[in-house]
């Protein structure tokens, strides 16, 4: 699994071994979870002790996302 987020106010969770399709000879991966925040995400934390949760922060706010 891979998590990504940034200035585009999107946070994505990717399963790198699933959800891949082939289009015109290339592999197209789609996220298994997509989250739209209010502002650009400034921090993402995926704790080892709780792998089913991801924490993101933006504009003095913190949100927990369940994977």
Which residue, among 63, 3, 55, has the nearest Cα to 33 in the 3D structure? 3
Which residue from 48, 37, 35 is spatially nearest to 1, judged by alpha carbons? Answer: 48
Which pLDDT score, from 0 to 100, does residue 24 have? 63
**pLDDT at position 53, please?**
93
Cα–Cα separations (whole angstroms), residue 17 to 1, 27, 37, 46, 58: 8, 12, 26, 19, 29
| Residues 12, 34 contacting (CB under 8 angstroms) | yes
Q: pLDDT value at position 49? A: 92
Residue 27: what pLDDT?
Answer: 67
Per-residue pLDDT of the chain (67 residues; tens, 9 = 90+): 888 887 889 999 888 775 555 666 666 678 888 999 989 999 999 999 998 999 999 989 998 888 8
């Amino acid at each position: 699994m891979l998590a990504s987020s940034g200035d585009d106010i999107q946070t994505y969770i990717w399963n790198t071994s699933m959800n891949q399709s082939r289009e015109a000879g290339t592999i197209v991966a789609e996220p298994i979870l997509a989250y739209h925040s209010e502002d650009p995400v400034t921090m993402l934390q995926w704790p080892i002790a709780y792998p089913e949760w991801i924490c993101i922060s933006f504009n003095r706010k913190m949100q927990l996302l369940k994977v």
